[in-house]
A and B are shown apart, each in its own frame.
Chain A
Protein backbone atom coordinates (compact mmCIF):
# COMPACT_ATOMS: atom_id res chain seq x y z
CA UNK A 1 0.00 0.00 0.00
CA UNK A 2 1.31 3.42 -0.87
CA UNK A 3 1.85 6.02 1.83
CA UNK A 4 -0.96 8.32 0.64
CA UNK A 5 -3.52 5.50 0.70
CA UNK A 6 -3.44 5.25 4.50
CA UNK A 7 -5.69 7.78 6.24
CA UNK A 8 -3.39 10.71 7.19
CA UNK A 9 -4.03 12.37 10.53
CA UNK A 10 -3.71 15.92 9.21
CA UNK A 11 -2.90 17.96 6.11
CA UNK A 12 0.91 18.04 6.57
CA UNK A 13 0.87 14.25 6.97
CA UNK A 14 -1.14 13.92 3.76
CA UNK A 15 1.27 16.19 1.87
CA UNK A 16 4.24 14.24 3.23
CA UNK A 17 2.66 11.01 2.02
CA UNK A 18 1.97 12.46 -1.42
CA UNK A 19 5.56 13.69 -1.53
CA UNK A 20 6.83 10.25 -0.69
CA UNK A 21 4.72 8.76 -3.48
CA UNK A 22 5.79 11.56 -5.88
CA UNK A 23 2.18 12.12 -6.84
CA UNK A 24 0.77 14.68 -9.26
CA UNK A 25 -2.37 15.88 -7.50
CA UNK A 26 -4.59 18.73 -6.45
CA UNK A 27 -5.53 18.69 -2.78
CA UNK A 28 -8.83 20.49 -2.22
CA UNK A 29 -8.87 21.87 1.32
CA UNK A 30 -12.27 22.62 2.84
CA UNK A 31 -13.25 25.18 5.45
CA UNK A 32 -12.69 28.92 5.58
CA UNK A 33 -10.87 30.19 3.57
CA UNK A 34 -10.11 26.79 1.99
CA UNK A 35 -8.27 26.39 -1.26
CA UNK A 36 -6.30 24.06 -3.49
CA UNK A 37 -2.72 22.84 -3.12
CA UNK A 38 -1.16 21.83 -6.44
CA UNK A 39 1.51 19.11 -6.43
CA UNK A 40 3.87 17.89 -9.13
CA UNK A 41 5.85 14.77 -8.37
CA UNK A 42 4.94 15.25 -4.73
CA UNK A 43 6.28 18.80 -4.54
CA UNK A 44 4.12 21.88 -4.04
CA UNK A 45 4.05 24.16 -7.08
CA UNK A 46 1.14 26.42 -6.14
CA UNK A 47 -1.55 27.22 -3.59
CA UNK A 48 -4.80 28.81 -4.71
CA UNK A 49 -6.96 30.26 -1.94
CA UNK A 50 -9.34 33.18 -1.54
CA UNK A 51 -7.44 34.01 1.66
CA UNK A 52 -4.37 35.40 -0.13
CA UNK A 53 -3.67 37.12 -3.47
CA UNK A 54 -2.30 34.91 -6.22
CA UNK A 55 0.87 35.76 -8.14
CA UNK A 56 -1.27 37.10 -10.96
CA UNK A 57 -3.32 39.25 -8.60
CA UNK A 58 -0.16 40.61 -6.95
CA UNK A 59 1.43 41.53 -10.27
CA UNK A 60 -1.65 43.19 -11.72
CA UNK A 61 -2.91 44.98 -8.62
CA UNK A 62 0.51 46.39 -7.75
CA UNK A 63 0.79 47.70 -11.31
CA UNK A 64 3.98 45.73 -11.98
CA UNK A 65 2.41 44.30 -15.13
CA UNK A 66 -0.49 45.80 -17.05
CA UNK A 67 -3.65 43.75 -17.43
CA UNK A 68 -3.59 43.74 -21.21
CA UNK A 69 0.09 42.78 -21.41
CA UNK A 70 -0.48 39.95 -18.94
CA UNK A 71 -3.47 38.67 -20.87
CA UNK A 72 -1.50 38.63 -24.12
CA UNK A 73 1.41 36.79 -22.51
CA UNK A 74 -0.97 34.21 -21.02
CA UNK A 75 -2.66 33.73 -24.39
CA UNK A 76 0.67 33.29 -26.17
CA UNK A 77 2.15 30.88 -23.62
CA UNK A 78 1.78 27.20 -24.39
CA UNK A 79 2.14 27.65 -28.11
CA UNK A 80 5.42 26.30 -29.44
CA UNK A 81 6.38 24.96 -26.01
CA UNK A 82 6.74 28.44 -24.54
CA UNK A 83 5.94 28.69 -20.86
CA UNK A 84 4.40 31.77 -19.29
CA UNK A 85 7.81 32.57 -17.81
CA UNK A 86 9.41 32.47 -21.27
CA UNK A 87 6.67 34.62 -22.72
CA UNK A 88 6.97 37.25 -19.98
CA UNK A 89 10.70 37.39 -20.58
CA UNK A 90 10.33 37.58 -24.36
CA UNK A 91 7.96 40.52 -24.01
CA UNK A 92 10.33 42.22 -21.55
CA UNK A 93 7.65 42.26 -18.85
CA UNK A 94 9.41 40.24 -16.14
CA UNK A 95 12.79 38.58 -15.78
CA UNK A 96 12.67 34.86 -14.94
CA UNK A 97 14.00 35.74 -11.49
CA UNK A 98 11.21 38.23 -10.85
CA UNK A 99 8.61 35.76 -12.03
CA UNK A 100 10.01 33.11 -9.73
CA UNK A 101 10.08 35.52 -6.78
CA UNK A 102 6.46 36.54 -7.21
CA UNK A 103 5.30 32.93 -7.63
CA UNK A 104 7.28 31.76 -4.59
CA UNK A 105 5.92 34.59 -2.46
CA UNK A 106 2.35 33.77 -3.51
CA UNK A 107 2.83 30.06 -2.81
CA UNK A 108 4.03 30.57 0.76
CA UNK A 109 1.45 33.28 1.38
CA UNK A 110 -1.32 30.97 0.17
CA UNK A 111 -0.10 28.21 2.47
CA UNK A 112 -0.13 30.65 5.39
CA UNK A 113 -3.69 31.74 4.56
CA UNK A 114 -4.80 28.10 4.37
CA UNK A 115 -3.33 27.50 7.83
CA UNK A 116 -5.56 30.26 9.25
CA UNK A 117 -8.54 27.96 8.69
CA UNK A 118 -9.24 24.67 10.36
CA UNK A 119 -8.23 22.60 7.28
CA UNK A 120 -10.02 19.63 8.84
CA UNK A 121 -11.37 18.31 5.53
CA UNK A 122 -9.58 17.61 2.30
CA UNK A 123 -9.91 15.69 -0.89
CA UNK A 124 -7.18 14.49 -3.23
CA UNK A 125 -8.00 14.85 -6.92
CA UNK A 126 -6.14 14.53 -10.15
CA UNK A 127 -3.74 17.29 -11.16
CA UNK A 128 -5.19 20.51 -12.45
CA UNK A 129 -2.63 22.79 -13.99
CA UNK A 130 -2.43 26.06 -12.07
CA UNK A 131 -2.08 29.04 -14.34
CA UNK A 132 0.99 30.55 -12.70
CA UNK A 133 3.76 28.34 -11.30
CA UNK A 134 7.51 28.61 -11.19
CA UNK A 135 9.31 26.57 -8.59
CA UNK A 136 8.41 23.42 -6.64
CA UNK A 137 8.99 23.00 -2.90
CA UNK A 138 9.03 19.92 -0.70
CA UNK A 139 5.99 20.03 1.60
CA UNK A 140 8.06 20.04 4.79
CA UNK A 141 9.68 23.33 3.73
CA UNK A 142 6.29 24.94 3.23
CA UNK A 143 5.00 23.53 6.51
CA UNK A 144 8.06 24.79 8.43
CA UNK A 145 7.77 28.29 6.97
CA UNK A 146 4.04 28.39 7.69
CA UNK A 147 4.63 27.34 11.28
CA UNK A 148 7.24 30.07 11.67
CA UNK A 149 4.86 32.66 10.28
CA UNK A 150 2.05 31.65 12.60
CA UNK A 151 4.43 31.85 15.57
CA UNK A 152 5.65 35.30 14.49
CA UNK A 153 2.14 36.72 14.22
CA UNK A 154 1.21 35.16 17.55
CA UNK A 155 4.22 36.87 19.10
CA UNK A 156 3.56 40.26 17.52
CA UNK A 157 -0.23 40.46 17.59
CA UNK A 158 -1.83 37.47 19.30
CA UNK A 159 -3.95 34.87 17.56
CA UNK A 160 -3.29 34.93 13.82
CA UNK A 161 -6.74 33.46 13.19
CA UNK A 162 -8.29 36.29 15.17
CA UNK A 163 -6.27 38.90 13.31
CA UNK A 164 -7.47 37.43 10.02
CA UNK A 165 -11.07 38.17 11.06
CA UNK A 166 -10.34 41.63 12.45
CA UNK A 167 -11.49 44.74 10.63
CA UNK A 168 -8.89 47.47 10.84
CA UNK A 169 -9.32 51.22 10.87
CA UNK A 170 -6.88 54.09 11.09
CA UNK A 171 -6.56 55.77 14.49
CA UNK A 172 -6.94 59.52 14.86
CA UNK A 173 -3.37 60.33 15.80
CA UNK A 174 -0.86 62.97 14.89
CA UNK A 175 1.04 62.27 11.66
CA UNK A 176 4.38 60.50 11.91
CA UNK A 177 7.00 59.65 9.32
CA UNK A 178 6.23 56.28 7.82
CA UNK A 179 7.48 54.08 5.01
CA UNK A 180 5.32 54.33 1.88
CA UNK A 181 3.98 50.79 2.31
CA UNK A 182 2.86 51.63 5.85
CA UNK A 183 1.13 54.77 4.62
CA UNK A 184 -0.64 52.72 1.95
CA UNK A 185 -1.96 50.37 4.60
CA UNK A 186 -3.28 53.25 6.71
CA UNK A 187 -5.08 54.62 3.66
CA UNK A 188 -6.57 51.21 2.89
CA UNK A 189 -7.69 50.51 6.47
CA UNK A 190 -11.21 51.89 6.40
CA UNK A 191 -12.81 49.89 9.21
CA UNK A 192 -14.47 47.46 6.81
CA UNK A 193 -11.39 45.63 5.57
CA UNK A 194 -9.66 42.67 7.14
CA UNK A 195 -5.91 42.10 6.58
CA UNK A 196 -6.79 39.84 3.66
CA UNK A 197 -8.93 42.58 2.10
CA UNK A 198 -6.11 45.09 2.49
CA UNK A 199 -3.67 42.64 0.90
CA UNK A 200 -5.93 42.23 -2.13
CA UNK A 201 -6.48 45.98 -2.38
CA UNK A 202 -2.75 46.74 -2.37
CA UNK A 203 -1.49 43.72 -4.30
CA UNK A 204 0.61 42.50 -1.38
CA UNK A 205 0.80 39.27 0.61
CA UNK A 206 -1.57 38.63 3.49
CA UNK A 207 1.28 37.72 5.84
CA UNK A 208 3.28 40.82 4.90
CA UNK A 209 0.23 43.00 5.57
CA UNK A 210 -0.27 41.31 8.94
CA UNK A 211 3.35 42.03 9.87
CA UNK A 212 2.97 45.68 8.92
CA UNK A 213 -0.32 45.93 10.82
CA UNK A 214 1.45 44.61 13.91
CA UNK A 215 4.06 47.34 13.51
CA UNK A 216 1.43 50.02 13.02
CA UNK A 217 -0.51 48.83 16.07
CA UNK A 218 2.66 49.07 18.16
CA UNK A 219 2.90 52.71 17.02
CA UNK A 220 -0.74 53.29 17.98
CA UNK A 221 -1.71 54.15 14.40
CA UNK A 222 -4.51 51.63 13.91
CA UNK A 223 -7.56 50.55 15.87
CA UNK A 224 -9.73 47.49 15.67
CA UNK A 225 -12.75 45.97 17.29
CA UNK A 226 -12.65 42.56 18.90
CA UNK A 227 -13.76 40.13 16.21
CA UNK A 228 -16.67 37.83 16.99
CA UNK A 229 -15.69 34.70 18.84
CA UNK A 230 -15.46 31.40 17.04
CA UNK A 231 -14.88 30.70 13.43
CA UNK A 232 -16.62 32.73 10.79
CA UNK A 233 -20.06 31.53 9.87
CA UNK A 234 -20.13 29.22 6.92
CA UNK A 235 -23.88 28.76 7.02
CA UNK A 236 -25.57 29.16 3.66
CA UNK A 237 -26.93 32.63 3.18
CA UNK A 238 -30.72 32.60 3.09
CA UNK A 239 -32.69 35.67 2.07
CA UNK A 240 -34.18 37.25 5.17
CA UNK A 241 -37.56 38.91 5.45
CA UNK A 242 -37.60 42.12 3.48
CA UNK A 243 -39.71 45.15 4.02
CA UNK A 244 -41.83 46.34 1.17
CA UNK A 245 -42.11 42.95 -0.46
CA UNK A 246 -45.59 41.70 -1.26
CA UNK A 247 -47.06 39.32 1.28
CA UNK A 248 -47.43 35.76 0.12
CA UNK A 249 -50.59 34.98 -1.72
CA UNK A 250 -53.47 33.70 0.35
CA UNK A 251 -53.60 29.93 0.30
CA UNK A 252 -55.97 28.48 -2.24
CA UNK A 253 -58.94 26.65 -0.76
CA UNK A 254 -58.48 22.94 -0.45
CA UNK A 255 -60.33 20.84 -3.01
CA UNK A 256 -63.46 19.28 -1.71
CA UNK A 257 -64.22 15.63 -2.05
CA UNK A 258 -67.35 14.76 -3.85
CA UNK A 259 -68.83 11.37 -3.20
CA UNK A 260 -68.47 9.16 -6.24
CA UNK A 261 -65.85 11.39 -7.92
CA UNK A 262 -62.82 9.73 -9.50
CA UNK A 263 -59.34 10.17 -7.98
CA UNK A 264 -56.97 10.17 -10.96
CA UNK A 265 -53.78 9.60 -8.90
CA UNK A 266 -54.97 6.38 -7.48
CA UNK A 267 -54.69 3.11 -9.24
CA UNK A 268 -57.94 1.50 -10.16
CA UNK A 269 -56.38 -1.92 -10.15
CA UNK A 270 -56.79 -2.66 -6.49
Chain B
Protein backbone atom coordinates (compact mmCIF):
# COMPACT_ATOMS: atom_id res chain seq x y z
CA UNK B 1 0.00 0.00 0.00
CA UNK B 2 1.31 3.46 -0.88
CA UNK B 3 1.88 6.24 1.64
CA UNK B 4 -1.10 8.17 0.33
CA UNK B 5 -3.44 5.20 0.47
CA UNK B 6 -2.25 4.24 3.96
CA UNK B 7 -3.04 7.69 5.31
CA UNK B 8 -6.36 7.89 3.43
CA UNK B 9 -7.43 4.61 5.08
CA UNK B 10 -7.52 6.39 8.43
CA UNK B 11 -10.43 8.50 7.16
CA UNK B 12 -12.47 5.34 6.65
CA UNK B 13 -12.68 5.02 10.43
CA UNK B 14 -15.10 7.94 10.50
CA UNK B 15 -18.72 6.74 10.78
CA UNK B 16 -20.49 6.49 7.44
CA UNK B 17 -17.42 7.11 5.24
CA UNK B 18 -17.20 4.37 2.58
CA UNK B 19 -14.66 5.74 0.12
CA UNK B 20 -11.94 8.41 0.02
CA UNK B 21 -9.87 9.59 -2.95
CA UNK B 22 -7.06 12.09 -3.43
CA UNK B 23 -7.08 13.71 -6.87
CA UNK B 24 -5.06 16.31 -8.78
CA UNK B 25 -7.48 19.21 -9.22
CA UNK B 26 -5.98 20.24 -12.58
CA UNK B 27 -5.18 16.97 -14.34
CA UNK B 28 -7.73 14.66 -12.68
CA UNK B 29 -5.00 12.13 -11.85
CA UNK B 30 -5.78 9.89 -8.88
CA UNK B 31 -2.95 9.83 -6.31
CA UNK B 32 -4.61 7.33 -4.03
CA UNK B 33 -7.92 5.88 -2.92
CA UNK B 34 -9.25 3.82 -0.06
CA UNK B 35 -12.50 2.02 0.54
CA UNK B 36 -15.24 1.42 -1.99
CA UNK B 37 -17.63 3.61 -3.98
CA UNK B 38 -14.86 5.95 -5.06
CA UNK B 39 -15.73 9.04 -7.06
CA UNK B 40 -14.84 9.66 -10.73
CA UNK B 41 -11.63 11.70 -10.50
CA UNK B 42 -11.88 13.41 -13.87
CA UNK B 43 -15.49 14.44 -13.33
CA UNK B 44 -14.65 15.76 -9.85
CA UNK B 45 -11.82 17.89 -11.22
CA UNK B 46 -14.02 19.21 -14.05
CA UNK B 47 -16.83 20.03 -11.64
CA UNK B 48 -14.65 21.95 -9.21
CA UNK B 49 -12.87 23.74 -12.08
CA UNK B 50 -16.22 24.86 -13.45
CA UNK B 51 -17.41 26.11 -10.07
CA UNK B 52 -14.03 27.61 -9.13
CA UNK B 53 -13.66 29.50 -12.40
CA UNK B 54 -17.23 30.77 -12.12
CA UNK B 55 -16.72 31.97 -8.57
CA UNK B 56 -13.43 33.53 -9.56
CA UNK B 57 -15.04 35.46 -12.41
CA UNK B 58 -17.66 36.66 -9.94
CA UNK B 59 -14.94 38.11 -7.73
CA UNK B 60 -14.67 35.46 -5.03
CA UNK B 61 -11.18 34.23 -5.83
CA UNK B 62 -9.96 31.24 -3.87
CA UNK B 63 -13.07 30.95 -1.75
CA UNK B 64 -14.19 27.53 -2.93
CA UNK B 65 -13.58 25.16 -0.03
CA UNK B 66 -15.87 22.24 -0.74
CA UNK B 67 -18.71 20.96 -2.86
CA UNK B 68 -21.32 18.63 -1.36
CA UNK B 69 -23.59 16.66 -3.67
CA UNK B 70 -26.58 15.20 -1.87
CA UNK B 71 -28.19 12.01 -3.14
CA UNK B 72 -31.05 10.01 -1.76
CA UNK B 73 -28.77 7.62 0.13
CA UNK B 74 -25.30 9.06 -0.19
CA UNK B 75 -23.34 12.27 -0.04
CA UNK B 76 -20.32 13.11 -2.14
CA UNK B 77 -17.98 15.61 -0.53
CA UNK B 78 -15.26 17.24 -2.64
CA UNK B 79 -12.87 19.36 -0.59
CA UNK B 80 -10.20 21.53 -2.19
CA UNK B 81 -6.65 21.25 -0.86
CA UNK B 82 -4.67 24.36 -1.79
CA UNK B 83 -0.90 23.96 -1.61
CA UNK B 84 2.29 25.24 -3.15
CA UNK B 85 1.85 23.87 -6.65
CA UNK B 86 -1.30 22.69 -8.36
CA UNK B 87 -4.18 22.16 -5.90
CA UNK B 88 -5.58 18.77 -4.91
CA UNK B 89 -9.05 17.47 -4.27
CA UNK B 90 -9.98 15.22 -1.38
CA UNK B 91 -13.25 13.43 -1.98
CA UNK B 92 -15.31 11.28 0.35
CA UNK B 93 -18.41 9.20 -0.24
CA UNK B 94 -20.71 9.06 2.80
CA UNK B 95 -23.70 6.96 3.75
CA UNK B 96 -26.26 9.66 4.40
CA UNK B 97 -27.97 7.94 7.31
CA UNK B 98 -24.76 7.19 9.21
CA UNK B 99 -22.34 10.02 8.54
CA UNK B 100 -21.91 13.35 10.27
CA UNK B 101 -21.14 15.80 7.44
CA UNK B 102 -19.62 18.45 9.69
CA UNK B 103 -17.33 15.90 11.35
CA UNK B 104 -16.19 14.55 7.99
CA UNK B 105 -15.46 18.04 6.64
CA UNK B 106 -13.48 18.78 9.80
CA UNK B 107 -11.37 15.64 9.41
CA UNK B 108 -10.80 16.23 5.70
CA UNK B 109 -9.44 19.63 6.64
CA UNK B 110 -7.18 18.12 9.28
CA UNK B 111 -5.86 15.55 6.80
CA UNK B 112 -5.08 18.27 4.28
CA UNK B 113 -3.28 20.40 6.85
CA UNK B 114 -1.24 17.62 8.43
CA UNK B 115 -0.43 15.36 5.53
CA UNK B 116 -0.47 17.34 2.32
CA UNK B 117 -0.05 21.05 2.82
Whole-angstrom distance between the Cβ of A249 and the nearest chain B Cβ: 58
Bin the interface of chain A by size.
Answer: 20 to 34
Task: Give Cα A179–Cα B24 distance, bound, in whole angstroms.
Answer: 16
Stretch at the interface among A165-173, A203-211, A257-265: A203-211
Q: Does B3 contact A (CB under 8 A)?
A: yes
Contact A181 B29 (CB under 8 A): no
Q: Does A200 contact B (CB under 8 A)?
A: no
Q: Contacts A96-B3, A205-B86 hold; do A101 and B57 have CB atoms under 8 A apart?
A: no
Interface residues of B: mostly helix, strand, loop or mixed? Answer: mixed
Contact B56 A101 (CB under 8 A): no
Q: Does A178 contact B (CB under 8 A)?
A: yes
Q: A141-185 vs B: 1/0 string, CB under 8 Å?
A: 000010011000000000000000000000000001111010000
Contact A212 B26 (CB under 8 A): yes
Cross-chain contact of A98 among B24, B27, B116 (Cβ < 8 A): B116
Within 66-105 of B, Cβ neighbours of A (below 8 Å) are at 84-86, 88
Q: B30-46 vs A: 1/0 string, CB under 8 Å?
A: 01100000000010000
Bin the interface of chain B by size.
Answer: 20 to 34
Contact B29 A97 (CB under 8 A): no
Taking A95-B116, A105-B24, A179-B61 as given, write out 19 further A-B residue pairs in contact, using a Cβ cutoff of 8 Å, ordered by the A residue number: A62-B84, A62-B85, A97-B116, A98-B115, A100-B4, A101-B31, A102-B85, A104-B31, A105-B27, A108-B29, A134-B2, A135-B2, A181-B26, A204-B85, A204-B86, A205-B27, A208-B26, A208-B27, A212-B26
Q: List 19 A-B contacts (CB under 8 A).
A: A58-B85, A63-B84, A64-B85, A95-B3, A97-B7, A98-B116, A101-B116, A108-B27, A134-B3, A135-B2, A177-B61, A178-B56, A179-B53, A203-B85, A207-B27, A208-B24, A211-B26, A211-B27, A215-B53
- B-side residues, CB < 8 A to A, are 2-4, 7, 22, 24, 26-27, 29, 31-32, 42, 52-53, 56-57, 59, 61-62, 84-86, 88, 115-116
- A-side residues, CB < 8 A to B, are 58, 62-64, 85, 95-102, 104-105, 108, 134-135, 145, 148-149, 176-179, 181, 203-205, 207-208, 211-212, 215
